[in-house]
Structure 1
Amino acid sequence: MKIDQEYPQWDEFVTLTSTEVLMPIDTTFAQEDWKGFNKALNNPEFKAALDAFEKSELPSHFATDERAKAKADAVADYRECIKLAGSNGNTKQIKEAYESARQNLNKVAAPIKN
């Protein structure tokens, strides 16, 4: 972390991006274990964290239109993953939705310069 940069932190974001919540999803995705991926996505802890993140407000210091759009898109992408994985959807579509979710989450997490 650079000294002249500040990273967004708020409770709902920290919970969603915690290793306890995202690691099982990331791991099963990387292993292409689609049954495990579906199970991890449907974990009540992940669903609760995603719901809370969706309802949360961006801290005013970090609130930009781009970051707000990325937050909304990340939630939509994760919900698409849940839907596709639960219906044994096309693996390519699942991968695209998940990679888009991660990219959008990275945009939300991007630092700002002080």
Structure 2
Amino acid sequence: MARIILFAFIVLNSLSFLEAGETRTWEGKWNNRKYNTTGPLKCVATSNDKGVWKATFTGLFKGDPFKYEATFRSQAKGQQLNLAGDATIRGHKYQWTGFMKGATLSGKYRSNIGYYGEFVLKQKK
């Protein structure tokens, strides 16, 4: 019986990231490998029933606040939700990939002008 309850919990928990209209918030740090800089980053994202997320990222770059919108696609793979998206930030094109797993949102990004790095954020309730 305990195995059935554990299995049901794992399945239901893994499907929770697919709820349409759900808004999630994550906070953590990003790293820019081109300039070896880092800073705080916050993401607030809402999903739809087609696996598309609309997100607002806010943070600091060398003490300068930034805010940008991004749209990304998601695809479930086991306990993980794989992500891919793009954004235009200050006129520059960015592409990124990442994943959601448990309470973590992780990603890697690259811009058309050579900025690249990663971020790791933890979900806030």
TM class, shorter-length: under 0.3
Instruction: Tell which structure's C-alpha radius of gyration is larger.
Output: 2
- Give the TM-score, by structure 1 length: 0.24
- Give the TM-score, by structure 2 length: 0.22
Higher relative contact order (CA 8 A, sep 6+): 1
Q: Which has the higher strand share?
A: 2
